[in-house]
């Protein structure tokens, strides 16, 4: 649980909550006192001294700090420098100089026990992003980190390593989120997510939106404006990420825990598929160049490992991150390798959707995932992915061609795969649809007696779609038509999960509004998935 949020005037450094949620400004003395420079090899010391000597006008850590991709002995630390985050050239006011940034990682939030330190040089080519992969850490423990550049010291972030391989370890808390449209509202839900102090955060896509100002308007009206045109160039994407990353609530969510991220469509272009963009009837011969720009900026702005650095218009993102033998997080990419949406996309009654030759994941990713299922010894196998997995039939009988319903052969091969491999507890995690849902996954959705073979938890958006409204889920026609769907809510929020060896509890967190800052949060519903019992039991909300 958090340290006290109250100020103790005798403390020379802020409490953890102040540090993580308040973006505290520490003096540089503490960093220097920790022996930053003296801990470096001579060559590195010279380089760091050079970086420290660069005089930057204005605060450089305006985009906050982040960490990600934890395994049992290492984690990625991230920051990106900007003195003028909204600069149109996407370079954050830093021009073209190279800058060295020092980092340190400690066992305690006061940095009395620094266990690793180092430095990275960044420049315009790297978008002034810093990715430090820190190894040699102890499994299953909390660490604190910060950066220094010249006379500026970053806010402190908290991170964590995964449990050691083969150990179930303690229960963990994981929160997942998606769809934060900056114009549609304030990122209050990110702030509440941070206050929950999860061990790990999953972001399932639509971290940014590509639109120029006021083209995607919430039913409640837009409350903030995007800066810049629809993102197509590298400078556009870099500027857009910097605008989002300047948000204090988002910064708090990054500073509290390591993240595992996968993009969806809006990090590139609405509903793109493979090398086909949203409006194929409008020639866009440069779509692959746009995709390359989008992926490059995505990599720069996310705490990813170096091996995830894009190669031109391709980025390798599907991967498994294990939390001991408690959880495997299989992070999927359902955009880059998919066949084009059937029947022209949208909601359709479409014969092509059942064509087994069609794929949402591409063959390589599908084979990789099936092999991960066969090799898994984990208590829980979670699929962190983008689009609605369960069948969802509208009143007219149509289904979404952008979701797994539009790629039914793909869905069957993957759910059959986890059944055949004997995966103990498969749970699909989903974003994209801007509403909360809890679904039981079936071998055959058309047959009410078909067994439940897994569970899906769908998070609502952070802001996309505006305030929304509460309603009685049982009244919603989608639930009556689709009896395997157990819960639906149209408010903004995120899902918090508590994962133990015996059960996974999902708390559907909602905020009352997003068009003004400061909305309170509450748990709208909680469900439990018991070990070896796919499906949902509703429990008292926590
Ligand atoms: Fe979205």
Give 252's pLDDT tier (boundaries 50, 70, 90): very high
Ligand 1 mean position to 134 CA, how many Å?
A: 32
Q: Identify the pLDDT of residue 8.
A: 33
Ligand 1 mean position to 455 CA, how many Å?
A: 22
Ligand 1 mean position to 439 CA, how many Å?
A: 19
Q: Identify the pLDDT of residue 4.
A: 33
Nearest residue to 175 via CA among 491, 504, 471, 533: 504
Ligand 1 mean position to 256 CA, how many Å?
A: 23
User: DSSP secondary structure string, 188-220?
Assistant: HHHHHHHHT--SEEEE-S-SS--PPTTSS--TT
Ligand 1 mean position to 315 CA, how many Å?
A: 20
Tell me which DSSP letter residue 184 carries: G
Ligand 1 mean position to 181 CA, how many Å?
A: 8
- Residue 178, beta-bridge partner list: none
Q: Identify the pLDDT of residue 425.
A: 98
Ligand 1 mean position to 179 CA, how many Å?
A: 4
Q: Identify whether the C-beta of residue 119 lies closer than 8 Å to the C-beta of residue 67.
A: no
Once rounded to an integer, what is the mean pLDDT over residues 262-280? 88
245: its two tokens: 């990353």
Give 285's pLDDT tier (boundaries 50, 70, 90): confident
Ligand 1 mean position to 519 CA, how many Å?
A: 21
Ligand 1 mean position to 460 CA, how many Å?
A: 9
User: DSSP secondary structure string, 162-174?
Assistant: PPPTT---S-EEE
Q: Identify the pLDDT of residue 55.
A: 61
Q: Identify whether the C-beta of residue 343 lies closer than 8 Å to the C-beta of residue 328.
A: no
Which is more confident, 95 or 268? 268
CA 366 vs CA 262, 406, 417: distances in Å: 16, 16, 10
Ligand 1 mean position to 197 CA, how many Å?
A: 24
Q: Within 13 Å and on the Cβ side, how many CA atoms surround 524?
A: 26
Give 472's pLDDT tier (boundaries 50, 70, 90): confident
Ligand 1 mean position to 434 CA, how many Å?
A: 6
CA 55 vs CA 27, 62, 87, 156, 495: distances in Å: 17, 16, 19, 22, 43
Once rounded to an integer, what is the mean pLDDT over residues 175-192? 98
**Cα of 334 vs its chain's centroid, Å:** 15
User: What are the residues whose beta carbons fall under 8 Å from the beta carbon of 267, sequence distance 6 or more?
Assistant: 205, 206, 207, 208, 210, 294, 298
User: What are the residues whose beta carbons fall under 8 Å from the beta carbon of 230, sequence distance 6 or more?
Assistant: 210, 211, 212, 215, 236
In 3-state terms, what secondary structure has residue 244?
helix
Ligand 1 mean position to 242 CA, how many Å?
A: 19
pLDDT digits (tens, 9 = 90+) for 427-455: 999 999 999 999 999 999 999 899 999 99
Ligand 1 mean position to 271 CA, how many Å?
A: 10
Once rounded to an integer, what is the mean pLDDT over residues 225-243? 97
pLDDT digits (tens, 9 = 90+) for 6-63: 333 333 334 454 445 444 333 444 454 433 433 334 444 444 444 444 567 789 999 9
Task: Indicate yes or no: pTM above 0.85.
Answer: yes
- Residue 538, beta-bridge partner list: 527
Once rounded to an integer, what is the mean pLDDT over residues 294-306? 98
């Amino acid at each position: 649980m958090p340290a006290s949020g109250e100020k103790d005037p005798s403390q020379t450094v802020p409490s953890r909550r102040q540090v993580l949620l308040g973006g505290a400004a520490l003096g540089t003395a503490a960093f220097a006192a920790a022996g930053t420079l003296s801990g470096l090899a001579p060559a590195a010391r010279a380089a760091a001294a050079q970086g420290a000597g660069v005089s930057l006008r204005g605060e450089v850590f305006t985009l906050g700090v982040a960490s990600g991709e934890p395994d049992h002995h290492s984690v990625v630390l991230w920051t990106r420098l900007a003195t003028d985050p909204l600069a149109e050239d996407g370079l954050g006011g830093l021009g073209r100089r190279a800058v060295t940034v020092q980092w340190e990682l400690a066992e305690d939030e006061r940095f009395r026990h620094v266990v690793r330190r180092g430095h990275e040089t960044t420049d315009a080519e790297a978008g002034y992003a810093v990715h430090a992969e820190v190894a040699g850490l102890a499994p299953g423990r909390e660490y604190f980190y910060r950066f220094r550049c010249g006379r500026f010291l970053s806010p402190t972030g908290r991170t964590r390593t995964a449990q050691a391989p083969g150990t179930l370890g303690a229960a963990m808390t994981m929160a997942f989120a998606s769809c934060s449209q900056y114009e549609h509202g304030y990122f209050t839900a990110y702030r509440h997510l941070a206050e929950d102090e999860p061990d790990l955060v999953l972001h399932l896509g639509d971290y940014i939106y590509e639109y120029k100002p006021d083209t995607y308007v919430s039913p409640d009206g837009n409350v903030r404006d995007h800066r810049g045109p629809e993102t197509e160039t590298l400078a556009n994407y870099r500027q857009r990420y910097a605008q989002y990353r300047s948000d204090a609530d988002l910064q708090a969510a990054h500073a509290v825990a390591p993240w595992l991220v996968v993009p969806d469509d809006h990090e590139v272009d609405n509903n793109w598929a493979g090398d086909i963009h949203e409006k194929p009837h409008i020639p866009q011969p440069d779509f692959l160049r746009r995709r390359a720009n989008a992926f490059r900026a995505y990599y720069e702005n996310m705490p990813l490992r170096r091996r995830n650095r894009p190669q031109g218009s391709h980025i390798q993102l599907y991967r498994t991150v294990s939390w001991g033998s408690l959880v495997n997080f299989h992070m999927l990419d359902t955009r880059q390798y998919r066949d084009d949406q059937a029947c022209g996309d949208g909601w359709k009654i479409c014969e092509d959707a059942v064509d087994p030759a069609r794929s949402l994941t591409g063959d390589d990713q599908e084979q990789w995932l099936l092999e991960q299922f066969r090799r898994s010894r984990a208590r829980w196998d979670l699929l962190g992915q983008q689009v609605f997995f369960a069948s969802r039939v509208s009143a007219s009988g149509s289904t979404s061609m952008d979701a797994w319903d539009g790629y039914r052969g793909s869905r069957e091969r993957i759910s059959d795969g986890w059944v055949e491999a004997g995966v103990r507890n498969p749970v699909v995690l989903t974003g994209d649809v801007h509403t909360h849902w809890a679904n039981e996954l079936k071998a055959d959705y058309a047959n009410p007696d078909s067994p439940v073979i897994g569970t899906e938890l769908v998070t609502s958006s952070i802001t996309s779609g505006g305030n929304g409204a509460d309603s009685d889920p049982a009244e919603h026609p989608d639930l009556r038509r689709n009896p395997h769907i157990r819960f639906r809510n149209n408010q903004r929020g995120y899902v918090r999960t508590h994962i133990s060896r015996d059960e996974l509890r999902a708390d559907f967190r909602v905020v009352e509004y997003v068009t003004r800052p400061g909305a309170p949060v509450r748990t709208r519903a909680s469900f439990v998935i018991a070990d070896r019992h796919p499906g949902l039991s509703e429990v008292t909300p926590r």
